[in-house]
Amino acid sequence: MTASIDDDSTRTRVRFLQPFLWLAVLAWGVGLGAKLFDLLVVAGAWGAAPPASLALLPYGKQYPIDPGDFFQPLSGLLLVGAVGTLTAGWRTPRGYRVWLWTPAAMLLIIWILTPTVFWPMLGDLYTIARGRVSWSDADVVALTRRWIIWDWTRTGLIAIGFASSVKAISVDPRGR
């Protein structure tokens, strides 16, 4: 027999849901803001006039922090928020669970794309910037544009995760 949304265990889960939702909303919000800054300001600088502008890539010994040193721990917080909301919201109505599953799905897609799409392109950009390989200017421009397009896609996925988390925290998880 399935538990009703009003039984004690479900009410307890809904109470636990709120902190995880707040964590998710805050982490997605910080991630979206940081990614927009990274894309518009940082990538805007190194992608402005490739190949010469690749000297501004924020990687290597001349930079005190790698952007991954910020985004990787943030994605750990997103994981805690996603797993926590899914666990605590497991018995909420199906229509509400969509708002819990969507951020988890966005995080999974981002985690798949980052090492398979972004890291190889970043490796190529970095080796070009350091003069370790020679590409034609047209190929470097095309690679830079491809990175920017993919990064806007990733930013869109982050925005969907954020919007879904905001929606989940904005409505009654009991469907009332």
Using CA atoms, how far apart are residues 159 and 34, in angstroms rounded to an integer? 12
Nearest to 164 by CA among 109, 100, 105, 110: 100
Q: With respect to residue 176, please indicate whether it lies within any of the assigned structural domains.
A: no
At 119, is the pLDDT very low, low, confident or very high (cuts 50, 70, 90)?
A: very high
Question: CA dihedral defined by 134, 139, 142, 146, rounded to 10 degrees?
Answer: -60
What pLDDT was estimated at residue 114?
Answer: 95
Instruction: Report pLDDT digits (tens) over 130-146.
Output: 888 889 999 999 999 99
CA 43 from chain centre, in angstroms, equals: 16
Q: Which domain holds residue 26?
A: 17-170
Q: With respect to residue 123, please indicate whether it lies within any of the assigned structural domains.
A: yes
Decide: 22 and 169 in contact? Cβ < 8 Å. yes
Indicate the residue type of 123: G
The total domain count for the chain is 1
